[in-house]
Amino acid sequence: MKLIQISFLIFISLSITNADQTYKNSFEGYEINSFPDDMMEIDGVFKVESNDEGKKHLQMASEPLTENAVIFGPSIKNSATLEVKVKGFKKRRSFPRFGIGLHGISGFRLRVVPSKKMIELVKNEEPVKTVSFDWNPDKWSILRLKIDYINEKSIIQGWVWNEGSTAPKKPNIKYIHDGTPGQGKASIWGTAYSGKVILFDELSLEYKKSS
């Protein structure tokens, strides 16, 4: 048991390669119905669950009907990239809303809004850029948020595509912000407007070491 725990801690620990660091988590080392002890719930109820094949993921409960979130990993600043798989479910004409974020709960977020057929870049709860997007409820969505801090400007780029498809070469959405992107932990977000759970898996965070 100790060997499994040690192997799991190594798996989710930070791996350092030159000036880059990575954090990865696919929830395989956690007990079913537990909440990961290296994460923090901001709102909502989250727990580790598994599919019929035994593959584990993090499940957000359908209640409360609020903007629920979890933060994880180290506090980061400047350039970073976050990629997460998300599975939402619709119910009749009701749709979920979900996203990922960098640099704390007030940082930039990439958010999928199926009810409006769009994706958004959000800052301090306000959309700063929107583009049209057709969400496929039958597939896992892969979200990637990349922020580059260069010459006192933050270049925020977002990609969204279906699992099994090739990631777009160009970002779906892009925005330039004057100043730094802030500092804080990475995050995942969900609002269960459809009354159904939202699933998260294969978290991958890459960022520069703080100087």
For 176-196, write each residue's pLDDT tens digit.
999 999 999 999 999 999 999
Decide if pLDDT at 106 tops 80: yes
* Alpha carbons 195 and 139: distance in angstroms, whole number: 18
pTM score, whole prediction: 0.89
Task: State both tokens at 123.
Answer: 């800052």
Decide if pLDDT at 6 tops 50: no
pLDDT mean over 108-131: 96
* pLDDT of res. 92: 87
* pLDDT of res. 16: 40
pLDDT mean over 98-102: 98
Residue 167 backbone zone (phi > 0: left; psi -120 to 50: alpha; other: beta): beta
